[in-house]
Amino acid sequence: MRPTQQLLSAHRDAWNRTMRHPFLRVLEGPVAEAAFRRWLGYEAGWIGQALGGLACAVPQVPRGHRYVVAQALVVLTEELDWLEAYGLEGEREEGLEAADRVVERAFGQGWECSVLVLWTGARLQFDALRGLEPQEELVRAFQERRTSAVVEAFLHDFAELTDLALQKLGMATAGDLLARVVAGQGELWDLGLALLERQE
Amino acid sequence: MRPTQVLLERVRDEWGRVLRHPFPRRLAAGVGAAGFREWLGLEAALAEAMAGLVAPVVPKAPKPHRYVLAQALLFLVEEAEWLETQARGRPPLPEATARLARLRPAPRTEWKRVATEFWLGGSAYFHALRAVRPEDEWVRAYWERRTSAIIAAFLHDFAELADLALARYPGAAAVPHARRVLAGLAGFWDLGLGLLGG
Protein backbone atom coordinates (compact mmCIF):
# COMPACT_ATOMS: atom_id res chain seq x y z
CA MET A 1 0.00 0.00 0.00
CA ARG A 2 1.30 3.47 -0.87
CA PRO A 3 2.39 5.69 2.04
CA THR A 4 -0.39 8.22 1.32
CA GLN A 5 -2.99 5.44 1.43
CA GLN A 6 -1.52 4.10 4.68
CA LEU A 7 -1.72 7.57 6.19
CA LEU A 8 -5.35 8.06 5.17
CA SER A 9 -6.27 4.60 6.49
CA ALA A 10 -4.65 5.32 9.82
CA HIS A 11 -6.68 8.53 10.21
CA ARG A 12 -9.89 7.41 8.52
CA ASP A 13 -12.15 8.20 11.52
CA ALA A 14 -11.06 11.84 11.87
CA TRP A 15 -11.15 12.21 8.08
CA ASN A 16 -14.71 10.87 7.86
CA ARG A 17 -15.89 12.99 10.80
CA THR A 18 -14.67 16.15 9.04
CA MET A 19 -16.33 15.02 5.81
CA ARG A 20 -19.65 14.96 7.71
CA HIS A 21 -19.19 18.56 8.91
CA PRO A 22 -22.58 20.36 8.98
CA PHE A 23 -21.13 23.25 6.92
CA LEU A 24 -21.13 20.95 3.92
CA ARG A 25 -24.86 20.21 4.25
CA VAL A 26 -25.58 23.93 4.56
CA LEU A 27 -23.81 24.47 1.23
CA GLU A 28 -26.52 22.37 -0.43
CA GLY A 29 -29.36 24.58 0.76
CA PRO A 30 -30.30 28.16 0.07
CA VAL A 31 -27.29 30.32 0.91
CA ALA A 32 -27.22 34.11 1.09
CA GLU A 33 -24.80 35.27 -1.61
CA ALA A 34 -23.24 38.00 0.54
CA ALA A 35 -22.49 35.50 3.32
CA PHE A 36 -21.03 32.99 0.91
CA ARG A 37 -18.85 35.65 -0.64
CA ARG A 38 -17.55 36.48 2.83
CA TRP A 39 -16.73 32.79 3.19
CA LEU A 40 -14.81 32.98 -0.07
CA GLY A 41 -12.83 35.80 1.52
CA TYR A 42 -11.80 33.34 4.27
CA GLU A 43 -10.84 30.83 1.63
CA ALA A 44 -8.69 33.44 -0.08
CA GLY A 45 -6.81 33.82 3.21
CA TRP A 46 -6.09 30.11 3.37
CA ILE A 47 -5.10 29.84 -0.27
CA GLY A 48 -2.88 32.92 0.04
CA GLN A 49 -1.08 31.30 2.96
CA ALA A 50 -0.69 28.04 1.08
CA LEU A 51 0.65 29.88 -1.98
CA GLY A 52 3.26 31.72 0.08
CA GLY A 53 4.32 28.58 1.92
CA LEU A 54 4.58 26.44 -1.17
CA ALA A 55 6.43 29.11 -3.17
CA CYS A 56 9.21 29.14 -0.58
CA ALA A 57 9.40 25.33 -0.72
CA VAL A 58 9.94 25.06 -4.51
CA PRO A 59 13.75 25.37 -4.50
CA GLN A 60 14.00 22.79 -1.68
CA VAL A 61 12.01 20.09 -3.48
CA PRO A 62 14.25 17.37 -4.97
CA ARG A 63 15.08 17.66 -8.66
CA GLY A 64 12.65 15.78 -10.84
CA HIS A 65 9.72 16.75 -8.61
CA ARG A 66 9.82 20.53 -8.81
CA TYR A 67 7.64 20.73 -11.89
CA VAL A 68 4.61 19.30 -10.14
CA VAL A 69 5.06 21.83 -7.31
CA ALA A 70 5.40 24.70 -9.77
CA GLN A 71 2.21 23.45 -11.46
CA ALA A 72 0.51 23.50 -8.07
CA LEU A 73 1.58 27.12 -7.67
CA VAL A 74 -0.04 28.01 -10.99
CA VAL A 75 -3.27 26.27 -9.90
CA LEU A 76 -3.20 28.04 -6.52
CA THR A 77 -2.57 31.39 -8.21
CA GLU A 78 -5.60 30.90 -10.46
CA GLU A 79 -7.65 29.87 -7.45
CA LEU A 80 -6.58 32.92 -5.43
CA ASP A 81 -7.44 35.21 -8.36
CA TRP A 82 -10.92 33.67 -8.54
CA LEU A 83 -11.46 33.86 -4.78
CA GLU A 84 -10.34 37.47 -4.65
CA ALA A 85 -12.66 38.30 -7.53
CA TYR A 86 -15.70 36.81 -5.76
CA GLY A 87 -14.73 37.00 -2.08
CA LEU A 88 -15.66 40.10 -0.15
CA GLU A 89 -12.88 42.37 1.00
CA GLY A 90 -12.48 43.03 4.68
CA GLU A 91 -13.14 39.45 5.78
CA ARG A 92 -9.80 38.05 4.87
CA GLU A 93 -8.09 38.75 8.17
CA GLU A 94 -10.45 36.54 10.19
CA GLY A 95 -10.01 33.78 7.66
CA LEU A 96 -6.28 34.26 7.77
CA GLU A 97 -6.19 33.75 11.53
CA ALA A 98 -7.94 30.42 11.14
CA ALA A 99 -5.69 29.47 8.25
CA ASP A 100 -2.65 30.47 10.27
CA ARG A 101 -3.56 27.95 12.93
CA VAL A 102 -3.49 25.24 10.30
CA VAL A 103 -0.39 26.17 8.43
CA GLU A 104 1.90 28.21 10.66
CA ARG A 105 3.63 25.15 12.00
CA ALA A 106 3.61 23.37 8.66
CA PHE A 107 4.75 25.74 5.93
CA GLY A 108 8.25 27.01 6.39
CA GLN A 109 9.36 23.76 8.07
CA GLY A 110 10.74 22.14 4.96
CA TRP A 111 9.24 21.10 1.65
CA GLU A 112 8.01 17.79 3.04
CA CYS A 113 5.59 19.52 5.44
CA SER A 114 4.43 22.02 2.80
CA VAL A 115 3.72 19.25 0.30
CA LEU A 116 1.89 17.10 2.81
CA VAL A 117 -0.25 19.99 4.06
CA LEU A 118 -1.23 21.03 0.55
CA TRP A 119 -2.03 17.52 -0.66
CA THR A 120 -4.00 16.66 2.49
CA GLY A 121 -6.00 19.89 2.41
CA ALA A 122 -6.79 19.61 -1.31
CA ARG A 123 -7.70 15.92 -1.02
CA LEU A 124 -9.96 16.51 2.00
CA GLN A 125 -11.84 19.27 0.17
CA PHE A 126 -12.07 17.16 -2.97
CA ASP A 127 -13.53 14.18 -1.07
CA ALA A 128 -15.87 16.35 0.99
CA LEU A 129 -17.23 18.57 -1.77
CA ARG A 130 -17.56 16.25 -4.75
CA GLY A 131 -20.74 14.51 -3.57
CA LEU A 132 -22.61 17.73 -2.80
CA GLU A 133 -25.50 19.09 -4.84
CA PRO A 134 -25.51 22.84 -4.23
CA GLN A 135 -28.56 24.86 -5.29
CA GLU A 136 -26.85 28.22 -5.56
CA GLU A 137 -24.87 29.05 -8.68
CA LEU A 138 -21.88 30.60 -6.89
CA VAL A 139 -21.64 27.68 -4.46
CA ARG A 140 -21.79 25.28 -7.39
CA ALA A 141 -19.03 27.21 -9.17
CA PHE A 142 -16.87 26.93 -6.03
CA GLN A 143 -17.58 23.21 -5.73
CA GLU A 144 -16.78 22.60 -9.39
CA ARG A 145 -13.43 24.34 -9.03
CA ARG A 146 -12.41 22.18 -6.06
CA THR A 147 -13.59 18.92 -7.59
CA SER A 148 -12.72 19.41 -11.26
CA ALA A 149 -10.84 16.94 -13.43
CA VAL A 150 -7.85 19.30 -13.22
CA VAL A 151 -7.83 19.03 -9.42
CA GLU A 152 -8.25 15.24 -9.62
CA ALA A 153 -5.27 14.98 -12.00
CA PHE A 154 -3.25 17.27 -9.74
CA LEU A 155 -4.03 15.13 -6.67
CA HIS A 156 -2.93 12.06 -8.58
CA ASP A 157 0.37 13.61 -9.72
CA PHE A 158 1.03 15.26 -6.38
CA ALA A 159 0.45 11.99 -4.47
CA GLU A 160 3.76 10.65 -5.79
CA LEU A 161 5.66 13.57 -4.28
CA THR A 162 3.58 13.31 -1.11
CA ASP A 163 4.60 9.64 -0.84
CA LEU A 164 8.23 10.78 -0.96
CA ALA A 165 7.58 13.47 1.65
CA LEU A 166 5.92 10.88 3.90
CA GLN A 167 8.90 8.58 3.67
CA LYS A 168 11.15 11.42 4.79
CA LEU A 169 8.87 12.66 7.58
CA GLY A 170 7.92 9.24 8.96
CA MET A 171 4.35 8.13 9.67
CA ALA A 172 4.22 9.56 13.22
CA THR A 173 5.17 13.12 12.20
CA ALA A 174 3.02 12.92 9.08
CA GLY A 175 0.08 11.66 11.12
CA ASP A 176 0.42 14.57 13.53
CA LEU A 177 0.48 17.00 10.62
CA LEU A 178 -2.52 15.38 8.94
CA ALA A 179 -4.46 15.55 12.21
CA ARG A 180 -3.73 19.29 12.42
CA VAL A 181 -4.80 19.89 8.83
CA VAL A 182 -8.04 17.95 9.36
CA ALA A 183 -8.76 19.78 12.63
CA GLY A 184 -7.87 23.11 11.02
CA GLN A 185 -10.21 22.43 8.10
CA GLY A 186 -12.93 21.66 10.65
CA GLU A 187 -12.25 25.02 12.35
CA LEU A 188 -12.49 26.85 9.04
CA TRP A 189 -15.80 25.15 8.30
CA ASP A 190 -17.00 26.04 11.85
CA LEU A 191 -16.32 29.66 10.92
CA GLY A 192 -18.11 29.22 7.61
CA LEU A 193 -21.11 27.62 9.29
CA ALA A 194 -21.43 30.48 11.78
CA LEU A 195 -21.13 32.96 8.95
CA LEU A 196 -23.79 31.34 6.76
CA GLU A 197 -26.20 30.71 9.65
CA ARG A 198 -25.90 34.34 10.81
CA GLN A 199 -27.19 35.45 7.44
CA GLU A 200 -30.27 33.22 7.39
CA MET B 1 5.39 55.32 -24.29
CA ARG B 2 5.17 52.14 -22.20
CA PRO B 3 7.43 52.00 -19.11
CA THR B 4 9.27 48.96 -20.54
CA GLN B 5 10.05 50.92 -23.72
CA VAL B 6 11.28 53.87 -21.63
CA LEU B 7 13.58 51.54 -19.70
CA LEU B 8 14.95 50.03 -22.92
CA GLU B 9 15.66 53.52 -24.22
CA ARG B 10 17.59 54.34 -21.07
CA VAL B 11 19.78 51.23 -21.31
CA ARG B 12 20.01 51.29 -25.09
CA ASP B 13 23.84 50.95 -25.17
CA GLU B 14 23.92 47.91 -22.85
CA TRP B 15 20.97 46.34 -24.69
CA GLY B 16 22.77 46.81 -28.02
CA ARG B 17 25.95 45.26 -26.64
CA VAL B 18 24.03 42.14 -25.55
CA LEU B 19 22.32 41.85 -28.93
CA ARG B 20 25.69 42.13 -30.68
CA HIS B 21 27.43 39.69 -28.32
CA PRO B 22 29.42 37.06 -30.27
CA PHE B 23 28.00 34.13 -28.29
CA PRO B 24 24.78 33.62 -30.30
CA ARG B 25 26.75 33.75 -33.57
CA ARG B 26 29.26 31.29 -32.13
CA LEU B 27 26.39 28.92 -31.30
CA ALA B 28 25.00 29.27 -34.80
CA ALA B 29 28.36 28.64 -36.50
CA GLY B 30 28.58 25.12 -35.10
CA VAL B 31 29.91 23.79 -31.80
CA GLY B 32 31.30 20.54 -30.42
CA ALA B 33 28.80 18.34 -28.58
CA ALA B 34 30.94 18.13 -25.42
CA GLY B 35 31.40 21.91 -25.06
CA PHE B 36 27.73 22.45 -25.79
CA ARG B 37 26.71 19.98 -23.07
CA GLU B 38 28.86 21.92 -20.60
CA TRP B 39 27.09 25.08 -21.67
CA LEU B 40 23.73 23.41 -21.09
CA GLY B 41 24.87 22.43 -17.58
CA LEU B 42 25.66 26.08 -16.95
CA GLU B 43 22.26 27.13 -18.24
CA ALA B 44 20.59 24.54 -16.02
CA ALA B 45 22.29 26.10 -13.00
CA LEU B 46 21.15 29.56 -14.15
CA ALA B 47 17.54 28.39 -14.61
CA GLU B 48 17.62 26.83 -11.15
CA ALA B 49 19.01 30.02 -9.59
CA MET B 50 16.34 32.07 -11.39
CA ALA B 51 13.60 29.74 -10.11
CA GLY B 52 14.91 30.41 -6.60
CA LEU B 53 14.55 34.15 -7.24
CA VAL B 54 11.08 34.01 -8.77
CA ALA B 55 9.41 31.52 -6.38
CA PRO B 56 9.26 33.70 -3.26
CA VAL B 57 7.81 36.71 -5.09
CA VAL B 58 4.89 34.89 -6.80
CA PRO B 59 2.45 35.49 -3.92
CA LYS B 60 3.46 39.15 -3.67
CA ALA B 61 2.55 40.26 -7.19
CA PRO B 62 -0.92 41.75 -7.68
CA LYS B 63 -3.69 39.78 -9.34
CA PRO B 64 -4.07 38.91 -12.14
CA HIS B 65 -0.37 39.36 -12.85
CA ARG B 66 0.96 36.93 -10.26
CA TYR B 67 -0.30 34.20 -12.60
CA VAL B 68 2.34 35.34 -15.12
CA LEU B 69 5.04 34.99 -12.45
CA ALA B 70 3.75 31.53 -11.54
CA GLN B 71 3.95 30.59 -15.22
CA ALA B 72 7.50 31.94 -15.31
CA LEU B 73 8.40 29.72 -12.38
CA LEU B 74 6.85 26.71 -14.10
CA PHE B 75 8.84 27.52 -17.25
CA LEU B 76 12.11 27.84 -15.30
CA VAL B 77 11.61 24.58 -13.44
CA GLU B 78 10.73 22.72 -16.64
CA GLU B 79 13.67 24.31 -18.43
CA ALA B 80 16.15 23.44 -15.67
CA GLU B 81 15.03 19.80 -15.80
CA TRP B 82 15.30 19.66 -19.61
CA LEU B 83 18.74 21.31 -19.54
CA GLU B 84 20.02 18.93 -16.87
CA THR B 85 18.88 15.97 -18.93
CA GLN B 86 20.58 17.35 -22.04
CA ALA B 87 23.76 18.21 -20.12
CA ARG B 88 23.94 14.58 -18.96
CA GLY B 89 25.16 15.40 -15.48
CA ARG B 90 28.01 17.70 -16.44
CA PRO B 91 28.49 19.99 -13.44
CA PRO B 92 28.86 23.75 -14.02
CA LEU B 93 32.34 25.22 -13.85
CA PRO B 94 33.52 26.64 -10.49
CA GLU B 95 33.70 30.17 -11.91
CA ALA B 96 30.12 29.92 -13.13
CA THR B 97 28.98 28.44 -9.84
CA ALA B 98 30.54 31.37 -7.97
CA ARG B 99 28.85 33.82 -10.33
CA LEU B 100 25.47 32.17 -9.93
CA ALA B 101 25.82 32.04 -6.16
CA ARG B 102 25.61 35.84 -6.18
CA LEU B 103 22.01 35.55 -7.35
CA ARG B 104 20.48 35.49 -3.88
CA PRO B 105 16.79 34.74 -3.38
CA ALA B 106 14.92 38.03 -3.42
CA PRO B 107 12.99 39.27 -0.40
CA ARG B 108 9.30 38.59 -0.92
CA THR B 109 8.52 42.28 -1.32
CA GLU B 110 10.72 42.61 -4.41
CA TRP B 111 8.29 41.28 -6.99
CA LYS B 112 8.63 44.50 -8.99
CA ARG B 113 12.37 44.13 -9.39
CA VAL B 114 12.23 40.39 -10.11
CA ALA B 115 9.46 40.86 -12.70
CA THR B 116 11.34 43.66 -14.46
CA GLU B 117 14.65 41.85 -14.50
CA PHE B 118 13.14 38.58 -15.64
CA TRP B 119 11.36 40.30 -18.51
CA LEU B 120 14.52 42.20 -19.50
CA GLY B 121 16.86 39.19 -19.39
CA GLY B 122 14.31 36.95 -21.12
CA SER B 123 13.72 39.50 -23.86
CA ALA B 124 17.45 40.00 -24.48
CA TYR B 125 17.92 36.23 -24.74
CA PHE B 126 14.98 35.91 -27.10
CA HIS B 127 15.99 38.71 -29.46
CA ALA B 128 19.71 37.85 -29.53
CA LEU B 129 19.08 34.19 -30.32
CA ARG B 130 16.30 34.86 -32.81
CA ALA B 131 18.78 36.86 -34.89
CA VAL B 132 20.78 33.69 -35.65
CA ARG B 133 19.90 30.22 -36.95
CA PRO B 134 22.11 27.35 -35.76
CA GLU B 135 23.20 24.64 -38.17
CA ASP B 136 23.85 21.84 -35.67
CA GLU B 137 20.84 19.69 -34.88
CA TRP B 138 21.64 19.46 -31.15
CA VAL B 139 21.94 23.25 -30.90
CA ARG B 140 18.71 23.70 -32.91
CA ALA B 141 16.58 21.97 -30.26
CA TYR B 142 17.91 24.37 -27.63
CA TRP B 143 17.54 27.39 -29.92
CA GLU B 144 13.93 26.46 -30.78
CA ARG B 145 13.04 26.31 -27.08
CA ARG B 146 14.44 29.83 -26.56
CA THR B 147 12.84 31.44 -29.60
CA SER B 148 9.48 29.64 -29.91
CA ALA B 149 6.12 31.32 -30.41
CA ILE B 150 5.24 30.23 -26.87
CA ILE B 151 8.19 32.23 -25.52
CA ALA B 152 7.20 35.23 -27.65
CA ALA B 153 3.65 35.11 -26.27
CA PHE B 154 4.95 34.65 -22.76
CA LEU B 155 7.28 37.66 -23.04
CA HIS B 156 4.39 39.70 -24.41
CA ASP B 157 2.32 38.89 -21.30
CA PHE B 158 5.32 39.43 -19.08
CA ALA B 159 5.89 42.92 -20.51
CA GLU B 160 2.50 43.93 -19.07
CA LEU B 161 3.61 42.85 -15.62
CA ALA B 162 6.94 44.64 -16.08
CA ASP B 163 5.06 47.79 -17.16
CA LEU B 164 3.03 47.63 -13.97
CA ALA B 165 6.14 46.99 -11.90
CA LEU B 166 8.06 49.85 -13.51
CA ALA B 167 5.17 52.24 -12.91
CA ARG B 168 5.68 51.58 -9.19
CA TYR B 169 9.44 51.21 -9.26
CA PRO B 170 11.58 54.34 -9.35
CA GLY B 171 13.54 54.74 -12.57
CA ALA B 172 16.57 55.78 -10.56
CA ALA B 173 16.70 52.23 -9.18
CA ALA B 174 15.37 50.38 -12.24
CA VAL B 175 18.04 51.69 -14.62
CA PRO B 176 21.13 50.55 -12.65
CA HIS B 177 19.40 47.23 -11.93
CA ALA B 178 18.68 46.79 -15.65
CA ARG B 179 22.31 47.61 -16.50
CA ARG B 180 23.47 44.95 -14.04
CA VAL B 181 21.16 42.36 -15.60
CA LEU B 182 22.44 43.07 -19.11
CA ALA B 183 26.06 43.14 -17.96
CA GLY B 184 25.45 39.86 -16.10
CA LEU B 185 23.99 38.27 -19.24
CA ALA B 186 26.97 39.44 -21.32
CA GLY B 187 29.32 38.01 -18.68
CA PHE B 188 27.39 34.74 -18.71
CA TRP B 189 27.76 34.51 -22.48
CA ASP B 190 31.49 35.29 -22.11
CA LEU B 191 31.68 32.14 -19.99
CA GLY B 192 29.77 30.31 -22.71
CA LEU B 193 32.23 31.46 -25.36
CA GLY B 194 35.05 30.10 -23.20
CA LEU B 195 33.31 26.72 -23.08
CA LEU B 196 32.54 26.55 -26.79
CA GLY B 197 36.00 27.71 -27.88
CA GLY B 198 36.79 30.65 -30.13
Interface ipTM: 0.78
Cα–Cα distance, B27 to B19 (Å, whole number)? 14
Q: Give me the residue from A52, A64, A84 closest to B63, CB to CB.
A: A84
Cα–Cα distance, A119 to A127 (Å, whole number)? 12
**Taking 80 as the threshold, does the pLDDT of residue B145 lie above it?**
yes
End-to-end CA distance of chain B: 40
Over range B127-131, report the average pLDDT. 96
Over range B67-86, report the average pLDDT. 90
**Taking 50 as the threshold, does the pLDDT of residue B108 lie above it?**
no
**CATH code (residue A99):** 1.20.910.10
Give the count of domains, chain A: 1
Q: Is A155 inside any structural domain?
A: yes
* CA distances, A144 to each of A139, B106, B135 (Å): 9, 36, 49
B84 touches chain A (CB under 8 A): yes
Q: Is A38 inside any structural domain?
A: yes
Average pLDDT in chain B: 87
- Residues of A with Cβ-Cβ distance to B85 under 8 angstroms: none
Q: Is A23 inside any structural domain?
A: no
Q: Is A24 inside any structural domain?
A: no
Q: Is A200 inside any structural domain?
A: no
Domains defined along chain B, listed by start: 3-196 (1.20.910.10)
Interface contact flag, A77 B105, Cβ < 8 Å = no
In DSSP notation, B83-118 reads: HHHHHTTPPPPHHHHHHHHT-PPPPTTTHHHHHHHH
Instruction: Give A61: exposed, middle or buried? Use CB within 10 Å, 0-12, 13-18, 19+.
Output: buried
SS3 B63: coil
Q: Is A25 inside any structural domain?
A: no
Is the sign of the CA dihedral B135, B136, B139, B145 positive or negative?
A: positive
> Are A7 and A175 within 8 A, CB to CB?
yes
Domain coverage including residue A45: 3-17+31-195
Measure in Å the smallest separation between the Cα of B26 and chain A Cα atoms: 31
At A50 the pLDDT is 84
Least confident of A21-30, B46-55, B90-99, B171-180: B90-99
Measure in Å the smallest separation between the Cα of A64 and chain B Cα atoms: 7
Q: In which band, very low, low, confident or very high, does the pLDDT at B121 lie, cut at 50, 70 and 90?
A: very high
Highest mean pLDDT among A90-104, B7-21, B25-39 belongs to B7-21
Among the listed residues B125, B105, B99, B3, the one whose alpha carbon sits nearest the alpha carbon of residue B58: B105
At A100 the pLDDT is 63
> Are A120 and A184 within 8 A, CB to CB?
no
Query: At a CB cut-off of 8 Å and minimum separation 6, what does B13 contact?
Result: none
Query: At a CB cut-off of 8 Å and minimum separation 6, what does A4 contact?
Result: A119, A159, A162, A163, A166
At A57 the pLDDT is 86
At A109 the pLDDT is 77
Mutate to test the interface with B, among A74, A75, A89 (most CBs of B within 10 A): A74
Tens-digit pLDDT profile for chain A (200 aa)?
Answer: 899 999 999 999 999 999 999 999 999 999 999 999 988 988 888 888 888 888 888 888 988 888 999 999 999 999 999 999 998 865 555 555 655 666 666 666 789 998 999 999 999 999 999 999 999 999 999 999 999 998 999 899 899 999 999 999 999 999 998 998 898 888 889 988 988 887 65
B53 touches chain A (CB under 8 A): no
At A132 the pLDDT is 96
Q: Is A9 inside any structural domain?
A: yes
